[in-house]
Amino acid sequence: MVAPGESPLSGLVTSVTFKGVHYEIIVDVKGFKWMIQSTDFQEEGSKIGLLLQPDDIHIMKKSEYSGKFGDYSTFSDEMDEDILASQREEAKKRMKSKTASVPYGIWMTIFIVVPMILVVVFAFTDKSGHFTLDNIMAVGQYSNVFLRSIWLGAIATVICLVLGYPLAYIISHTGARAQSVLIMLVMLPMWMNFLLRTYAWMTLLEDNGVINTVIASLGLPKLHMINTAGAVVLGMVYNYIPFMILPLYSALAKMDHSVIEAAQDLGANQRRVFMKVIFPLSMPGVISGITMVFVPAVSTFIISKMLGGGSNLLIGDLIDMQFLGSAYNPNLGSAISLVLMVLILICMGIMNQFDDGETRGGGLMI
């Protein structure tokens, strides 16, 4: 559904029915009845435009059609012409968008596609350039590093979700001015250099740091916090939690509150409203947040190097050692990078299975 002026097909909303998590909207377009399923509410009597895709059309009811070329008693050539005009307009828009994307396509080819091809080539060749599978087979000896990275990344992601969801919910339910201030506070640490933020946590967590100084002044024994797995997770959560809050806030802020009110009117308590309405509608934000936190957390190396010490080696540290360390072996480093990319793609594929697409605007049926 779009504004009336953005599509050659437009009509009046004649009926709106709430179906639990979406609305069934009947639109009269030149004598034809269109049924639209959408999470967006439209008032009866309002005028809306329709953009059609071939997969959107399921059933067409034949009816009287009166258009700019005359009156017809059945599904007519004029309706075909209107649909073709809409498709031509969409084709023009797609062509403009393709033209605008050319610079990005060039950039992506040079800095993403070509490096990935080089990674694959190095992973399956030896130092003399001959094909080999030894690099891929050698990755198995670092399985404990992979498991540690996935485990710590998963813990950090869960903590970010548990902390970020309530905060995003609170922000989305405040006034517009308060939302701007709170979002700025969430993004404020990101304006500072990543390395400086991590150095700050070293100052706080080291044995003679700020936290232990305060603890000692209270007469309590000092805590060993630096160079531990907990310090690594803390650094991940601090640095990546904005990437969880922002997509969650976006999904919650765009939610149609009339759906929540309808569920409450039907007798659902707060827990049931959250589990059956709010959380499912916010699932796209949850999936985006998990992906944006888990991927960098698994592949990080600065956080583990500075806060974890040598006893908490992660995949990123291992790759860094193969390219920049004393154990220089770019072929093995490329193989480890390739396996890491495959594991991340598998994890993302699993997460996408939880997003069934029910909250993406609905389908269109006639």
pLDDT of residue 210: 92
Q: Are residues 90 and 142 in the same domain?
A: no
How many structural domains compose the chain?
Answer: 2
Burial class for 366, CB neighbours closer than 10 Å (0-12, 13-18, 19+): middle
Q: Is the per-residue pLDDT at 123 higher than 70? A: yes
pLDDT of residue 291: 92
Q: Are residues 146 and 96 in the same domain?
A: no
Work out the average pLDDT over 180-190: 93
DSSP 8-state symbol, 310: G
Confidence of residue 74 (pLDDT cuts 50, 70, 90): very low
Q: Are residues 62 and 181 in the same domain?
A: no
Residue 253 lies in a domain: yes
Taking each continuous run of H as one helix and of E as one strand, the counts in the chain are: 16, 7
pLDDT of residue 334: 95
Full domain range(s) for residue 74: 4-100
Measured distance CA(230)–CA(224) in Å, rounded: 10
Contacting residues for 309 by C-beta, under 8 A, at least 6 apart: 226, 227
pLDDT of residue 234: 96
Q: Is the per-residue pLDDT at 73 higher than 50? A: no
Q: Is the per-residue pLDDT at 77 higher than 60? A: no
Residue 118 lies in a domain: no
Work out the average pLDDT over 328-354: 90
Token pair recorded at residue 332 = 């093995």
Range in 2-11, 280-289, 326-335, 356-365 with the lowest mean pLDDT: 356-365
Confidence of residue 130 (pLDDT cuts 50, 70, 90): very high
Cβ–Cβ < 8 Å for 304, 89: no
From 26, 50, 16, 20, select the one nearest 358 (Cα to Cα): 20
Measured distance CA(363)–CA(366) in Å, rounded: 10
Mean pLDDT over the full length of the chain: 84
Token pair recorded at residue 241 = 């939690």
Mode of pairing for the β-strands spanning 65-67 and 47-50: unpaired
Residue 124 lies in a domain: no
Looking at per-residue pLDDT, the higher value among 325 and 248 belongs to 248
Cβ–Cβ < 8 Å for 363, 55: no
Q: Are residues 89 and 162 in the same domain?
A: no
Instruction: Give buried/exposed letters for 241-258 (b at 16+ CB in 10 A, else e).
Output: bbbbbbbbbbbbeebbee
Residue 337 lies in a domain: yes
Q: Are residues 14 and 91 in the same domain?
A: yes
Looking at per-residue pLDDT, the higher value among 46 and 200 belongs to 200
The residue length of the chain stands at 366
Q: Are residues 42 and 160 in the same domain?
A: no
Confidence of residue 82 (pLDDT cuts 50, 70, 90): low
pLDDT of residue 256: 87
Residue 178 lies in a domain: yes
Measured distance CA(137)–CA(107) in Å, rounded: 33
Measured distance CA(180)–CA(186) in Å, rounded: 10
Q: Is the per-residue pLDDT at 57 higher than 70? A: no
pLDDT of residue 358: 44
Mode of pairing for the β-strands spanning 23-29 and 70-72: unpaired
CATH number for the domain spanning 74: value is 2.40.50.140
pLDDT of residue 54: 53
Looking at per-residue pLDDT, the higher value among 364 and 151 belongs to 151
Range in 79-83, 159-163, 232-236 with the lowest mean pLDDT: 79-83
Confidence of residue 356 (pLDDT cuts 50, 70, 90): low
pLDDT of residue 351: 81
Cβ–Cβ < 8 Å for 236, 148: no
Q: Are residues 72 and 202 in the same domain?
A: no
Residue 346 lies in a domain: yes
Range in 38-42, 78-82, 309-313 with the lowest mean pLDDT: 78-82
Residue 121 lies in a domain: no
Give the global pTM.
0.71
| SS3 assignment, position 67 | strand
Largest CA distance in the chain: 92
pLDDT of residue 34: 74
Give residue 72's region: left, alpha or beta (phi > 0; psi -120 to 50): beta
